[in-house]
Amino acid sequence: MLVIELDATGWQSFQDFNKALKAALGSCDGHGNSIDAWIDSIIYGGMNEVEAPYVVWITGTAGCDVTLKEELVTFSEAISQARAWKLKHHGIDVDVSFRIRDGSRPSD
């Protein structure tokens, strides 16, 4: 499975996450920044060069603002819920997950 690592060191806002994720996934021009836009492109596809399956490791969050950390958790949970909804209602599992670590990615 493809592993995408995003280093949150120095991120000041959710916009910094959006920018890093767009670059990592090769998002199309005009891709939105809302969680709903990300659900559309990640779960339903067609807007990013990188498609499932993959896991995104977000590391280096120890120095991030508590609000940003909460937004990253909310984002991760929203993707998981959308994945589960699509599996339940359409029988299609989009193998994508986001994992957040304060430090480095643990060894597999």
**Is the residue at 106 inside a domain?**
no
* Mean pLDDT score across all residues of the chain: 94
**Is the residue at 20 inside a domain?**
yes
**Is the residue at 8 inside a domain?**
yes
Structural domains in the chain (count): 1
Identify which of 39, 45, 103, 37 has the alpha carbon closest to the alpha carbon of residue 77.
Answer: 39
Q: What is the CA radius of gyration of the chain?
A: 13
Mean pLDDT by 10 residues, the chain (108 residues): 96 97 96 96 95 97 95 97 98 97 58
pLDDT, residue 102, reads 77
Predicted TM-score (pTM) of the model is 0.91
Task: Write the single-letter amino acid at 39.
Answer: I
**Is the residue at 91 inside a domain?**
yes
DSSP codes joined into one string, 63-106:
GS-HHHHHHHHHHHHHHHHHHHHHHHHHS----EEEEE-SSPPP
CATH of the domain at 77: 3.30.370.10
